Structure 1
Amino acid sequence: MGSVFSGRTGPRGGKTAVESLLKVQINQTRKAPGSPAAPRLVFDAADVAEVSYGPLRWHVHVDETEPHFGGRRRWFACLACSCRRTTLYVVGDALACRVCLGLRYASQHETERDRLFRRAHKLRDRLGWSGGVADERGGRPGGMHEMTYCRLSRNLASLTAKILSDLEDWVEGAERTF
């Protein structure tokens, strides 16, 4: 497979997903409760932060901008490219942004079928229904407008039809290979 930098890692030969790595966010001022493995962030001065994770330590430049609506927004300067980032990732002994490390989001590894299933599950959750796409339909949730319920039900029926037809094609293709 290779290292994070080789471009040949992950479940489908793709790059590593950021969800599986340790991350440091600019708005993280202390470790999350109950997570001793989280990187620690301490602001040394107005423009420098120290990130520590076990024996590793990095000094990261912090930049501030003023949004048009007022206030202040802080950014990390990536140690590799110096671009402004809100999140840096720990990979081995490196601390850098997602782009410099060649990382992807988990959704970028999904196939079209995976996306259809995710959308269907999301609709079922919104409707308050349990189970998968082949399970029975539930009733209209309390407080949901009838037109909204009808629209979401139609969208779910359309997605379910696509999934089932796609599964039939997939099963036929699998049978041909055996």
Structure 2
Amino acid sequence: MPNDFDKNRRIKMGGRGSGRRSSYGGKPETNDSMPLDIRRIASSGLLIPGSSFGWQWTVNDRPVASIRIRVDWESLVLSYRMKSTGEVFEQRVQTQTTPCHLGGQRHWFTCPRCSKRVAVLYAPGRYFACRQCCGLGYATQKESAGDRAATRADKLRKRLGWEAGILNGPGGKPKGMHWKTFLRLKSHHDALVQITLQDMARQFGFLQKLMDG
């Protein structure tokens, strides 16, 4: 029976960094605040009224937090225990759907605080709510211009078939790629590397000044 299967099923959610708390300008990040994505729940085939299942977050494949979810009609009931205090909480979150252009429907949470339609809820504290209501920032907000350039450069390196990491130097032209395309991508890559190196030098100089007092 589908309900019996779902009742004992535990779904792992998260990955490196999930479940940790960090901050940027005193603001916790979305990735560190137990993100609960209804799209992933729906794609797992678990939105069956009357069913229940376990959902957990992991760090380096080790579970760090978990909840039980019961599916009711147009709502989910979240049950969980706070590790810090041992308190048990139960929160009902309303859900809604919108039609897709090519048929079917898309599932959404209704934020318990602002009633806004969202795909992901977070729990930096005791209760789940949307990112804005939780006052969460994105991890990319703490990235410098050099960090962003290095990320973009690595994407180009992957496209070119080069080893990841800008300090590994450039590789050759991939087989089958036109020289014009290769030279354009390499030029873009080299410009991003220069931005990264300049930013690293700036940060190093700033740190050196602090160390010199």
What's the TM-score once normalised by structure 2's chain length? Answer: 0.67
User: Identity of aligned pairs, percent?
Assistant: 35
Match of 1:51 in 2: 78
Give runs of aligned pairs for residues 1-178 of structure 1, distance below 5 A: 10-27=22-39, 28=41, 29=46, 30-31=53-54, 37-45=65-73, 47-54=74-81, 55-177=88-210, 178=212
2:93–2:111: 8 Å Cα contact kept in structure 1? Answer: yes
**Equivalent-residue separation in structure 2 for 1:148 and 1:40 (angstroms):** 51
**Equivalent-residue separation in structure 1 for 2:120 and 2:113 (angstroms):** 13
Q: Aligned-pair RMSD on alpha carbons?
A: 2.7
Q: Cα distance 1:154–1:14, how it changes in 2: closer, same or farther (>3 A)?
A: farther
User: 1:49-100, CA deviations, whole angstroms, 9 ceiling, x for partnerless residues?
Assistant: 1122343221111112223433212211111111111111122311111110
Question: Is there any run of 5+ residues in structure 1 with no aligned partner, and where?
Answer: 1-8
Higher relative strand content: 2
User: 1:28-67, CA deviations, whole angstroms, 9 ceiling, x for partnerless residues?
Assistant: 135468965343433212x121122343221111112223
Q: Cα distance 1:115–1:14, how it changes in 2: closer, same or farther (>3 A)?
A: farther
Shift of 1:117: 1.9
**Equivalent-residue separation in structure 1 for 2:123 and 2:201 (angstroms):** 42
1:121–1:133: 8 Å Cα contact kept in structure 2? Answer: yes
**Equivalent-residue separation in structure 2 for 1:169 and 1:62 (angstroms):** 48
Secondary structure of the corresponding residue to residue 53 of structure 1: strand
Q: Cα distance 1:74–1:132, how it changes in 2: closer, same or farther (>3 A)?
A: closer
Q: Cα distance 1:40–1:24, how it changes in 2: closer, same or farther (>3 A)?
A: farther
**Equivalent-residue separation in structure 2 for 1:25 and 1:174 (angstroms):** 39
Q: Cα distance 1:74–1:11, how it changes in 2: closer, same or farther (>3 A)?
A: closer
How many residue pairs get aligned? The number is 169
Q: Cα distance 1:135–1:81, how it changes in 2: closer, same or farther (>3 A)?
A: same
Secondary structure of the corresponding residue to residue 22 of structure 1: coil
